[in-house]
Amino acid sequence: MRGNFSTITKMFSAGVLAAGLLTAPAKAADDTIKVGILHSLSGTMAISETTLKDVMLMLIEEQNAKGGLLGKKLEAVVVDPASNWPLFAEKARELISKDKVAAVFGCWTSVSRKSVLPVFSELDNILFYPVQYEGEESERNVFYTGAAPNQQAIPAVDYLMSEDGGSVKRWVLEGTDYVYPRTTNKILEAYLKAKGVPAEDIMVNYTPFGFSDWQTEVSAIKKFGSAGKKTAVVSTVNGDANVPFYKELGNQGIKAEDIPVMAFSVGEEELAGLDTGPLVGHLAAWNYFESIDTPENKKFIDDWHKFIKNDKRTTNDPMEAHYIGFNMWVKAVEKAGTTDPDKVIDAMVGVSVPNLTGGYSTMMPNHHITKPVLIGEIQADGQFETVSQTPGLVMGDEWSDYLPDSKDLISDWRAPLACGNFNVATGKCGGKGTN
Amino acid sequence: MILIRAIGLTLLLVMASLLPSSAAEADLRAVIAKFATAANFSATEAVVRELAATSDPAVEPPLSALADGNLYIRKADSQVFVGKDAGDGIDLLDPLSGEKAASAAKTDLTKIKVNNGLRRVIRDALGTLTLRATDPAVRIAAAATMFKTPDAANIEPLDAAIAAETDASVKALFEQARAASLLVSDRPEADKLSAIALIAARGDRDAVSLLTSVEANSQGAVKDAASSAIATINSTLALWDAGQNIWYGISLGSVLLLAAIGLAITFGVMGVINMAHGEMVMLGAYTTFVVQQVIRTSFPGLFDWSLVIALPLAFLVTAFVGLAIERGVIRFLYGRPLETLLATWGVSLILQQAVRTIFGPTNQEVGNPSWMSGSFDIGQLAITWNRLWILVFALLVFGVLLYVMKRTPWGLRMRAVTANRRMAASMGIRTPWVDALTFALGSGIAGIAGVALSQIDNVSPNLGRGYIIDSFMVVVFGGVGNLWGTLVGAFSLGIVNKFLEPYAGAVLGKIVVLVLIILFIQKRPRGLFALKGRAVEA
């Protein structure tokens, strides 16, 4: 009898426990951590940004499968700023004020980032920005997980100057006419001149957004390249304009062995729209390639194919940046024990997470991260093959050392300095970048 | 016992036949095997140079395979093979004989990596090796490579090749390559001066490139001869440049014409401000993509015909969509241009987003058939095939459209309805149907323009956006309602644009063209070829 009773009690308590376990997730669902995703799903930039929205959804789903964060489930809040720069600011405000998100992952173009900056500092929230950019900025509320110019442009030019890269002596800087190419080319021009390249060996040219008739430009490159010196093109041509540019290069017979093109905005996604047969050997500089052979990357690609239900979809550098940024945020939230943006911002500096190229990336005090720099050559199958890699990790340098008005500036968001544009020459916080 | 002996003998025989036929071949194989142990690019380069130094034509296949990224190491036994893609795996061919030795999965093989530097070294090596190839095209390629990479050591093989060459045009190229190599050798000055004269006769950019470096590295008479040769070539090239600008202008004009010609019907003839015109072009391009996808998977042999097959389909698809838009939206809005503008703008957004949902936001690959790839030279003018075909196609479409409008009963009805709707209706023409079919025709033509534009632009949901402004510009500039105006407008805008571009840059050039058009419209509000008569007032 007694034995029986105890069994019943046990069974009963087990039942209560089980019931408690079953109801627990239901309770947590009312109390989720919201994560904002601010990427264009329509308009011109949808081509690049939709993929980033998808990869964020995948990362959040995976985190939830691992048990969420601080015992709560994550909930993605997706908005569509429709490639419309002022709308980015409106949607950011909506995410922070109305949806009360803990952090936002978003933006692609520099102008969209600039448009949301005041919103993030006013409402004190966090933005993770995943795209390579022109630098010359460091904000308390923004974490830059893409490359700064010294993590992409400068090593790329160094490679071309080296014997492996062909000892290039003449340079064409070809770009789309907006802030990223203009600033990057300004830095590169200063850098090349500092390396002793005479002004007549540098040609700078800009074309409008979505430019499609490259005949004149390509023949100008051909002409510039026939001065008896090894010539290379450094391309900051953006998005849609790349496909006609490369088609024209192929048709006019410019081979990578003669005049290589080093691109900063051409990734696996852009090549997906191209027959890469005639382009083999042209180069790109990134911090990640889909072809990188590491177990982390293999798992990431497999997960991505499973999530998107299409094993032909490629992965690219900004996707890795979001992977790193999201994992850093998760770690910082765990470290801070709260999602309160103020505490998370302080906890972020020094957080270190694995990247997909077999190493670790660390968040530095200037809110930029450390990354390896890879130079890849386009292959006939639309992938890149790494031909050069920096020996160690490169730390993102927000204020370029090659521009006269930013070479004295540094950024350190830790107390007591807590300044994004500290001038070491005058010893004062403020200067360029102060609005 | 006898049996064992027989077996032993057979084994010996088999082994003997498997052994390399000559000692030289064994040596080559030993060198090729070194690829497996080359740890980096410079080690691979050393092996390439060693192979090239043998001057044995047998090393050509493995070297070309290496340059194309088709040389593999089998992980199991570190043997080197030439790989040939065979669907699910890779066929392994013997690097020297080219016979199929085995096949393997991609994961069992390591591809030998090459970079641009290595490809250059291989190309140079192959240049010397293929001077005596039987195919004249290969010999021409060899001569071109040797011209670009002059080396004193090339003179002797070239002398031998020139003596053996029977084809006069190839022989001339060999002589130029020999002259180039002569200039970097320590031969006497007189030889060098005649070499400069020979190279100057080429008159192209490669000659300028070569002579510039000669000029920089020499003194005295040679330097003077080189600089005067450069000056002469440059002055002729300047003339060719002007010719090239005209060609580029014509080619840009043909693209503008293609994009605008459908709009010349819907906007020009019917007066409908159709903001969804660009999306019709986009739909045409996507039809091409779908056709190519089907051909790739089911009928790979038909790939070169894919554009021809896509043309009628693109016309039908977009004409049908156009018909639906006219019947569904536009017919309720005739005579209300502002509402039409907004409604068609909305339709364009719907179409864009629909395509984005169905095909995804990324670019789709539309391949160029072989007859649309590459370029050919007329004098110093490089003309790319795809641009030439687009020009021909644009003129063809224009011609057919003109014929339909002017010479067929249907065209007559169309013009009658535009000229005087009520009169046409009282003559028994069913004007609503003429409207619908005219709009469908304009849309269909935009669709076949999309087939052509898919060859030079990227196929993405945004494709149409880039052409809508230009199309309106052409039609307004040329004169609304006049097909010839559209033709002249497109070509003049193209040529003006391309003449401005080298001096003003692409960005400023476009602005200048826009300002010029605005000024022109101020002066002649009805465009180049203004319609006269009652239609204008209606």
Distance, in Å, from the CA atom of B413 to the CA atom of B425, rounded to the nearest integer, reads 10
Q: What pLDDT score was predicted for residue B1?
A: 53
Question: Smallest Cβ distance to A272: which of B353, B363, B506?
Answer: B363
Q: pLDDT band for B289, please (50, 70, 90 cuts).
A: very high
First to last CA, chain B: 112
CB contact B348 to A (< 8 Å): no
Higher pLDDT, B283 or B190: B283
Q: pLDDT band for B3, please (50, 70, 90 cuts).
A: low
With CA atoms as reference, report the closest residue to B149 among B171, B118, B177: B177
Reported as type and span, the H/E element at residue A174 is strand A170-176
Give the pLDDT mean for A282-302: 94
Q: What pLDDT score was predicted for residue B532?
A: 62
How far does the CA of residue B353 sit from the closest CA of chain A (Å)? 7
- In sequence order, the β-bridge partners of residue A376 are A284, A386
A229 within 8 A of B217, measured Cβ to Cβ? no
**In sequence order, which residues have a C-beta less than 8 Å from that of residue B401 and are 6 or more positions away?**
B261, B265, B445, B483
Distance, in Å, from the CA atom of A342 to the CA atom of A328, rounded to the nearest integer, reads 15
Give the pLDDT mean for A247-268: 88
CB contact under 8 A, A164 and B502: no
Q: Which chain B residues are within 8 Å of A247, Cβ to Cβ?
A: 368, 386, 456
CB contact B368 to A (< 8 Å): yes
Q: Which chain A residues are within 8 Å of B375, Cβ to Cβ?
A: 251-253
Q: Which chain A residues are within 8 Å of B211, Cβ to Cβ?
A: 228
B174 within 8 A of B162, measured Cβ to Cβ? yes
Of A50-64, A311-325, A331-345, B471-485, the least confident: B471-485
Distance, in Å, from the CA atom of A132 to the CA atom of A121, rounded to the nearest integer, reads 21
Question: Smallest Cβ distance to A228: which of B69, B115, B213?
Answer: B213
Q: What pLDDT score was predicted for residue A25?
A: 42
Q: What pLDDT score was predicted for residue B93?
A: 86
User: Residue B416 pLDDT > 60, yes or no?
Assistant: yes
Give the pLDDT mean for B439-465: 91
Reported as type and span, the H/E element at residue B80 is strand B80-86
CB contact under 8 A, A208 and B210: no
Give the pLDDT mean for A114-134: 95
B339 within 8 A of B333, measured Cβ to Cβ? yes
Give the pLDDT mean for B274-288: 95
Tell me what percent of the residues of chain B surpass a pLDDT of 70: 94
Give the pLDDT mean for A2-24: 46
B 292-331 residues inside an 8 A Cβ radius of A: none
CB contact A240 to B (< 8 Å): yes
Q: What pLDDT score was predicted for residue B20?
A: 44
Q: Which chain B residues are within 8 Å of A379, Cβ to Cβ?
A: 69
User: Residue A151 pLDDT > 80, yes or no?
Assistant: yes
Q: What pLDDT score was predicted for residue B10?
A: 56
User: Residue A335 pLDDT > 50, yes or no?
Assistant: yes
Distance, in Å, from the CA atom of A149 to the CA atom of A155, rounded to the nearest integer, reads 9
CB contact under 8 A, B367 and A275: yes
A294 torsion bin: left (phi>0), alpha (psi -120 to 50), beta (else): beta
With CA atoms as reference, report the closest residue to A326 among A137, A151, A95, A127: A127
Distance, in Å, from the CA atom of A54 to the CA atom of A323, rounded to the nearest integer, reads 12
User: Residue A10 pLDDT > 70, yes or no?
Assistant: no
Q: What pLDDT score was predicted for residue A331?
A: 96
B 392-431 residues inside an 8 A Cβ radius of A: none
Greatest extent of chain A over all pairs of C-alpha atoms, in Å: 104
Q: Which residue of B has its CA nearest to A258?
A: B120
Q: Which residue reads 């071309």 in tokens?
A: A160
User: Residue A16 pLDDT > 60, yes or no?
Assistant: no
- In sequence order, the β-bridge partners of residue A170 are A231
Length of chain A (residues): 435
User: Residue B392 pLDDT > 90, yes or no?
Assistant: yes
Q: What pLDDT score was predicted for residue B129?
A: 79
CB contact A256 to B (< 8 Å): yes
In chain B, where are the structural domains located?
Answer: 29-118, 130-218, 241-537
Give the pLDDT mean for B234-263: 91
User: Residue B300 pLDDT > 80, yes or no?
Assistant: yes
Q: Which chain A residues are within 8 Å of B501, Cβ to Cβ?
A: 216-217
A 67-86 residues inside an 8 A Cβ radius of B: none
Q: What pLDDT score was predicted for residue A97?
A: 95
B 488-507 residues inside an 8 A Cβ radius of A: 498, 501-502, 505-507
The rounded Cα A53 to chain-centroid distance in angstroms is 13
B115-148: pLDDT as tens digits: 888 888 888 888 777 887 788 888 888 888 888 8
Angle at A66 between CA A63 and CA A70, to 5 degrees: 75
CB contact under 8 A, A205 and B505: yes
Higher pLDDT, B23 or A155: A155
User: Residue A30 pLDDT > 70, yes or no?
Assistant: no
User: Residue B529 pLDDT > 70, yes or no?
Assistant: yes
With CA atoms as reference, report the closest residue to B398 among B448, B467, B334: B448
- To probe the interface with A, which of B116, B386, B463 has the most A CB atoms within 10 Å? B116
User: Residue B17 pLDDT > 50, yes or no?
Assistant: no
A 142-181 residues inside an 8 A Cβ radius of B: 163-166, 177
Q: What pLDDT score was predicted for residue A2?
A: 42
CB contact under 8 A, B362 and A47: yes
Q: pLDDT band for B288, please (50, 70, 90 cuts).
A: very high
Distance, in Å, from the CA atom of A46 to the CA atom of A59, rounded to the nearest integer, reads 20
Q: pLDDT band for A202, please (50, 70, 90 cuts).
A: very high
For B230, other C-beta atoms within 10 Å of its C-beta total 21
Q: Which residue of A has its CA nearest to B363?
A: A273
User: Residue A299 pLDDT > 90, yes or no?
Assistant: yes
CB contact under 8 A, A273 and B460: yes
Higher pLDDT, A419 or B481: A419
Q: Which residue of A has its CA nearest to B122?
A: A257
What tokens does A114 get? 């600039």
B436 within 8 A of B327, measured Cβ to Cβ? yes
How far does the CA of residue B423 sit from the closest CA of chain A (Å)? 45
Q: What pLDDT score was predicted for residue B301?
A: 85
Q: What pLDDT score was predicted for residue B16?
A: 47
With CA atoms as reference, report the closest residue to A98 among A106, A90, A107: A90
- Provide CATH code, domain A153-263: 3.40.50.2300
Q: Which residue of A has its CA nearest to B360?
A: A47
Q: pLDDT band for A21, please (50, 70, 90 cuts).
A: very low
CB contact under 8 A, A207 and B507: yes
Tell me what percent of the residues of chain A surpass a pLDDT of 90: 63
Distance, in Å, from the CA atom of B259 to the CA atom of B270, rounded to the nearest integer, reads 17
With CA atoms as reference, report the closest residue to A123 among A145, A95, A144: A95
Question: Smallest Cβ distance to A272: which of B362, B374, B385?
Answer: B362
Q: What pLDDT score was predicted for residue B132?
A: 76
Q: Which amino acid is at B409?
A: P
CB contact under 8 A, A212 and B457: yes
Q: Which chain B residues are within 8 Å of A227, Cβ to Cβ?
A: 208-209, 212
User: Residue A6 pLDDT > 80, yes or no?
Assistant: no
Distance, in Å, from the CA atom of A238 to the CA atom of A184, rounded to the nearest integer, reads 13
Q: What pLDDT score was predicted for residue B166?
A: 84
Q: pLDDT band for A432, please (50, 70, 90 cuts).
A: low
Q: What is the CA radius of gyration of chain A?
A: 24
Give the pLDDT mean for B302-326: 94
Give the pLDDT mean for A248-258: 86
Give the pLDDT mean for B427-442: 92
With CA atoms as reference, report the closest residue to B415 among B142, A425, B423: B423
Q: What pLDDT score was predicted for residue B18?
A: 47
- To probe the interface with A, which of B363, B465, B468 has the most A CB atoms within 10 Å? B363
Q: What pLDDT score was predicted for residue B5?
A: 62
**Can you state the angle between helices B189-200 and B168-183, rounded to 10 degrees?**
130
CB contact under 8 A, A44 and B462: yes
* Strands A231-236, A170-176: pairing kind: parallel
Q: pLDDT band for B516, please (50, 70, 90 cuts).
A: very high
Q: What pLDDT score was predicted for residue A290?
A: 94
CB contact B34 to A (< 8 Å): no
What tokens does A361 get? 């990336």
DSSP A265: S
Distance, in Å, from the CA atom of B95 to the CA atom of B98, rounded to the nearest integer, reads 6
Long-range contacts of B148-154 (CB under 8 A, 24+ apart): B148/A258, B148/B206, B148/B210, B149/B120, B149/B124, B150/B177, B150/B180, B150/B181, B150/B183, B150/B184, B150/B210, B151/B124, B151/B181, B151/B184, B152/B181, B152/B184, B152/B185, B152/B186, B153/B181, B154/B128, B154/B178, B154/B181
A 260-289 residues inside an 8 A Cβ radius of B: 260, 269-270, 272-275, 278, 280-281, 283
Distance, in Å, from the CA atom of A367 to the CA atom of A420, rounded to the nearest integer, reads 9
Give the pLDDT mean for B254-274: 89
- In sequence order, the β-bridge partners of residue A38 are A79, A106
How far does the CA of residue A37 sit from the closest CA of chain B (Å)? 17
pLDDT mean across residues, chain A: 88
Q: pLDDT band for B246, please (50, 70, 90 cuts).
A: very high
How far does the CA of residue A272 sit from the closest CA of chain B (Å)? 7
Give the pLDDT mean for B342-362: 91
CB-facing half-sphere around the CA of A12: CA atoms within 13 A: 6
CB contact under 8 A, B120 and A207: no
CB contact under 8 A, A385 and B113: yes
- pTM, 2 dp: 0.83
Give the pLDDT mean for B388-399: 95
Give the pLDDT mean for B12-26: 56
Distance, in Å, from the CA atom of B498 to the CA atom of B241, rounded to the nearest integer, reads 11
In chain A, where are the structural domains located?
Answer: 153-263
Question: Smallest Cβ distance to A244: which of B205, B456, B498?
Answer: B456
With CA atoms as reference, report the closest residue to B264 among B434, B482, B439, B95: B482
User: Residue B341 pLDDT > 50, yes or no?
Assistant: yes
Q: pLDDT band for A11, please (50, 70, 90 cuts).
A: very low
CB contact B41 to A (< 8 Å): yes
CB contact under 8 A, A166 and B205: no
CB contact under 8 A, B387 and A215: yes
Distance, in Å, from the CA atom of B181 to the CA atom of B175, rounded to the nearest integer, reads 10
Q: What pLDDT score was predicted for residue A356?
A: 95
Q: Which residue reads 């110093």 in tokens?
A: B380
